[in-house]
Structure 1
Amino acid sequence: MKNRTLRWLGVVAFVALTSPLFAQLSGSYTIDPSGTGTNNYTSFTSAISALSTSGVSGAVTFNVKQGTYTEQVTIPAVTGASATNKITFQADPTNTSAATVTYSPTGTTDNWTVRLNGCNDVTIKGLTITTGGTTYGRLVDHTGNVTNISLLDNTFNGVAGTSTSSYFAGIYYTSPSEAKGVWHVEGNTMNNISYGVYVYGSSYTTSMDSIFIENNVINTSYYGLYPRYAKYQKVHGNTVNALGTYAYNYLYYPLYGVDAQNNTMNCGTGYGFYIYTSAPTGYSPYLIVENNNITAGTYGIYASCAGTSTYSPWSAASIKKNNIVLSGTTNYGIYLAYANFPSSAPGVIENNMIASNGTGTIYGYYPYHVANAVFQHNSINVSAGSLTAGRAVYLNATTSTSYFTAGGNVLKNNIIVNAGGGYALEASSTAAAELSRR
């Protein structure tokens, strides 16, 4: 009897150790409702259940067969996931039509089609993500500490209409949430959404090292770009289109710098780029804003640091070859505030074209409390605006003695026209700059 019991226990142990139910996942799998075999899962839910139960011992790729998957997808933390052991959900390379995941939320507590819930090292690639909701319809949501995420070559189809509610966002967050590590949002097409890329961090010390937002097409009723507290923010090759009256694009709280190049921003009466940081002292945040085509109402390029001595000013800038067309009552072509560039390496604002037909207060180029900037080879054409508040170039600075001294700025070889009857150039304060016109 004792020997029979031992033999039976040995068989149970062998089955437990070799069963796919308990083996850690590694390698390639399929998600296919019609598929069979131990490497196939019939739904996202069953695949994620296996990840949660077993964990991973190597990189894992789920190839998603074409068709529509009507289910809510929540990706949790997975044991073993790492930069080496990445988890990828991607459209099967052999597909001839879309692999679509959709869900119909009924309220704020289930308002997502795909949720990243405290997970790390996850890639979602080539899927179509949509919603069956009408009152709610958020597509991708992140919550908890979510680290090293790649959203690549997906199609997001929302139902925002003209709504400005985050209920209809493409990518958004649910508190408490902290985006961490490195995020890539690249090659996606977002249609009919209220927020495009809203990736949320709460502080310089706890949030993302970097975010790369590249080559996306975003058709939005409210916000296009809104990364928050990514230390380095790279924004290249994107197209943002306002579905209605306006679209806004915020690049918030970079610590190291912003690199925004080769973007097309069709923003209606909204903002091309609104860049703001309050980097603590001891850092040297920089700006690269080049080769962008911007149509906007209020700001073409707005770049400001916090205006007190307890924060770091901009330390380097290259604002070049941007084409900015503005309309609306009050508008700013390039607004640059609290920048203290070394005299040996001045900030450069050159070869930009700025045109404004606003009806009220207009600033083509407005440096506020800036030291050692060179503004050269630019063309500014103000064709309308107030007789007293229309300014092609406007220089100003704070009179506070607690901050660095503004001055050393150079304007040379520019074409500046104010056909609206206001000022071609106005220096509002004697503290604004030491102006050298050549």
Structure 2
Amino acid sequence: MIFDDVNLAENVSACAGTPNPGNTIANPTIICPNQQSTLSLQNTIAGSGVSYLWQSGPSATGPWTNIAGTFSTNTVTVATTTWYRCQVSCTFSSLSAFSAPVQIIASILPAGTYTIGPSGNFPNFTAAVAALSCGISGPVIFNVITNTGPYTEQISIPQITGASSTNTITFNGNGNTIQFFPTNFDRHIIKLDGADHVTFNNLTVLCTNPSLGYGFLLINDADDNKIENCTIDLTASFNTSSNANAGIAITGSQTNATFVGNSGKNNIITGNTIKGGYFGITINGSFTVNSLNNEISNCTIENFYIYGIYLQRVSNSSIKENILTRPTRAFVGSFYGISHFQNGNNVIIESNRMYNAFGGNTSNTNVSYCIFHSNVTSTVGNENKVINNLIYDINNNGTIYAIYNASSSNLQYLHNTISLDYIATFSNSFTRGFFQNGFAGGIVFRNNIISIGRGGTGTKHCLYFGNTGSQITSNNNILSLNAPSGINNIGFWGNNFLTLPNWKTANAGAFDQNSVDVNPNYSNPATGDFTPSNPLADNIGAPLGITVDILNSPRSTTTPDAGAFEFSFKDLA
């Protein structure tokens, strides 16, 4: 069958009556100056003979100026905040109507409170961060709409023009989750890349990569930021020993959590829960300038592979009232609770609790360094201090150094309680309450409690001074060694000293002349209450200017108690 010279035409009805375009729609409605937005209409106008005339104006009522664009959609470049509408005409009826105008804000982000969520001002974190890129004119708050997550995205916030101590940027997560599967060269979920004065609050940050990822990465002088009351979940990493994952990394590299370089200062990390990872939190300064004025407080850092809190070239910072524990993770390495490397002044490690270090694998034989300093030399008058900390239930078969000092001068250890009393071990490894090695001067170890009742056949020391040239002041301590087996010594300085009277003869009587050997009889170790109940432990300390204890209870100004807990025996009787 052959068709020749046949014309086929579709009979399309013409537009009739008055068109109803509805609202003008813009996507996005908030942009930086000279960026583009796409305009469209709420309603589709059926029929042929429809024409479109787009207009712009400075207000919702004009005056209006015709602009390019003859279709139902139109892409516009917006230099300043502008209103847009479209005149839709039916040629055959000669009738027309205007769409309801829409405003496109093209400016730095105005001060105010915005929402993130499907029905919010911004559909997700990425859109909110894009709006910030123009700069801000005042304080900006983003509230994530409750129960709208999870948000599967990765965000990076650069330095924002206009941000300051007054013009802050706050993301309130409201319990929502942001999650991502990061790659090797972009390991972060949230990155502050030179960003300052940014706060993240009450947000769950979930890394889904089982091998690597940083919950938060702060880099390139990201200063004056806050991470508060967030949950950083790296439990996907439980089966890896890779050091490519960390809860929070303040570092000089995108791919190394402990890289010395331009990272950040004046940052506050408080009230967070960090689960898993190789590192819980790292802070690193540069070779020329230490990272200054940071705070890590009231955080629970749990089930990390090796390092809970890792500090390197850090000064004038506070590490306070944190919990470091590994209750359930079976695949773990050594236990470094709080570690400080390579110099720093005025770093206060205070009122932290370290316990249940190997709860997921008590047969583990790795080493514990609960508080660790290596080559950290501060200056006189700017001493680093370790105050009111509690170390207990270090529950495996490996060597234990509750406090370890390697060549770190001008360090003061005051009012700490160390209980190495895990009886169930069969370890033949060393147990040492305070261990010092490598020359160091200006070390003060006073008003502490060390009790060792650990099982096993290994050698045990309350105090081990491995370098006879180091300058150590040790006094007003409670040194109790009641281990059921092994080689038990109160101290070591050149050789072992079995008892406290023996130890008082070491180094020509330089050590612990006012210290005592009494069992503290802790009130309730199962609940973490290591208040001594033995009256012979009362008022052993000397006044050293420490005004409160681990519970923020006042200390006696004349006869303070040794250890982390201040107490009155009459109150315990």
Q: Same fold (TM over 0.5)?
A: yes
Name which of 363, 377, 380 aligns with 2:481: 380
The answer to whether the 8 A contact 1:215-1:237 is kept is yes
Q: Which residue of 1 aligns with 2:281?
A: 197
Does residue 430 of structure 2 align to residue 330 of structure 1? yes
The answer to whether the 8 A contact 2:177-2:206 is kept is yes
Amino acid across the alignment from 2:203: L
- The superposition leaves residues 161-187 of structure 1 with CA deviations (integer Å, 9 ceiling, x where unpaired) of 132212232123461753333222211
The answer to whether the 8 A contact 1:359-1:384 is kept is yes
Mapped partners of 1:247, 1:28: distance in 2: 43
Mapped partners of 2:200, 2:190: distance in 1: 10
Does residue 337 of structure 2 align to residue 249 of structure 1? yes
After superposition, the Cα gap between the structure-2 partners of 1:212 and 1:138, relative to the gap in structure 1 and judged at 3 Å, is closer
The answer to whether the 8 A contact 1:255-1:283 is kept is no
Mapped partners of 1:298, 1:260: distance in 2: 24
Once structures 1 and 2 are overlaid, which stretch shifts more, 144-153 or 198-207? 198-207
Mapped partners of 2:264, 2:252: distance in 1: 15
Mapped partners of 1:187, 1:152: distance in 2: 6
Q: Which residue of 2 aligns with 1:179?
A: 263
After superposition, the Cα gap between the structure-2 partners of 1:272 and 1:281, relative to the gap in structure 1 and judged at 3 Å, is closer
Scaled by the length of structure 1, the TM-score of the pair is 0.76
Mapped partners of 1:352, 1:87: distance in 2: 46
For the aligned residue pairs, the C-alpha RMSD in angstroms reads 3.2
Amino acid across the alignment from 1:319: H
> Structure 2: which 5+ residue stretches go unaligned?
1-62, 68-77, 84-102, 254-258, 359-365, 496-506, 520-573
Q: Which residue of 2 aligns with 1:414?
A: 517
Shift of 1:292: 0.7
Name which of 165, 169, 172 aligns with 1:83: 165
Q: Which residue of 2 aligns with 1:122?
A: 198
The answer to whether the 8 A contact 2:315-2:346 is kept is yes
Amino acid across the alignment from 1:220: F
Does residue 100 of structure 2 align to residue 34 of structure 1? no
Name which of 444, 450, 453 aligns with 1:355: 453
Aligned ranges 1:121-160 → 2 under 5 Å: 121-158=197-234, 159-160=236-237
Shift of 1:227: 2.5
Shift of 1:379: 1.9
Amino acid across the alignment from 1:250: I
Mapped partners of 1:321, 1:72: distance in 2: 42
Mapped partners of 2:127, 2:379: distance in 1: 50
Shift of 1:136: 3.1
Helix, strand or coil: the match of 2:131?
helix
Mapped partners of 1:120, 1:406: distance in 2: 55
Shift of 1:196: 0.7
Q: Which residue of 2 aligns with 1:52?
A: 133
Q: Which residue of 2 aligns with 1:43?
A: 124
Mapped partners of 1:325, 1:217: distance in 2: 23
Sequence identity percentage: 23
Amino acid across the alignment from 1:335: F
Q: Highest relative contact order (Cα 8 Å, sep 6+), 1 or 2?
A: 1
Scaled by the length of structure 2, the TM-score of the pair is 0.59
Name which of 123, 139, 161 aligns with 2:238: 161
- The superposition leaves residues 206-236 of structure 1 with CA deviations (integer Å, 9 ceiling, x where unpaired) of 4222332323242222221112222134333
After superposition, the Cα gap between the structure-2 partners of 1:407 and 1:303, relative to the gap in structure 1 and judged at 3 Å, is farther
Helix, strand or coil: the match of 2:133?
helix
Shift of 1:153: 0.8
Q: Which residue of 1 aligns with 2:176?
A: 99
The answer to whether the 8 A contact 1:367-1:395 is kept is yes
After superposition, the Cα gap between the structure-2 partners of 1:319 and 1:277, relative to the gap in structure 1 and judged at 3 Å, is farther
Name which of 383, 395, 400 aligns with 2:493: 395
The answer to whether the 8 A contact 1:229-1:255 is kept is no
Helix, strand or coil: the match of 1:133?
coil
Name which of 140, 144, 148 aligns with 1:64: 144
The answer to whether the 8 A contact 1:321-1:352 is kept is yes
Does residue 420 of structure 2 align to residue 317 of structure 1? no
The answer to whether the 8 A contact 1:91-1:99 is kept is yes
The answer to whether the 8 A contact 2:337-2:370 is kept is yes
> Structure 1: which 5+ residue stretches go unaligned?
1-6, 93-97, 398-404, 417-438
Mapped partners of 2:508, 2:173: distance in 1: 54
After superposition, the Cα gap between the structure-2 partners of 1:372 and 1:134, relative to the gap in structure 1 and judged at 3 Å, is closer
- The superposition leaves residues 188-214 of structure 1 with CA deviations (integer Å, 9 ceiling, x where unpaired) of 112232211112223472422233232
After superposition, the Cα gap between the structure-2 partners of 1:204 and 1:302, relative to the gap in structure 1 and judged at 3 Å, is farther
The answer to whether the 8 A contact 2:153-2:180 is kept is yes
Once structures 1 and 2 are overlaid, which stretch shifts more, 154-163 or 328-337? 328-337
Amino acid across the alignment from 2:373: I
Q: Which residue of 2 aligns with 1:266?
A: 356
The answer to whether the 8 A contact 2:211-2:242 is kept is no
Instruction: Say which one has the larger Rg.
Output: 2
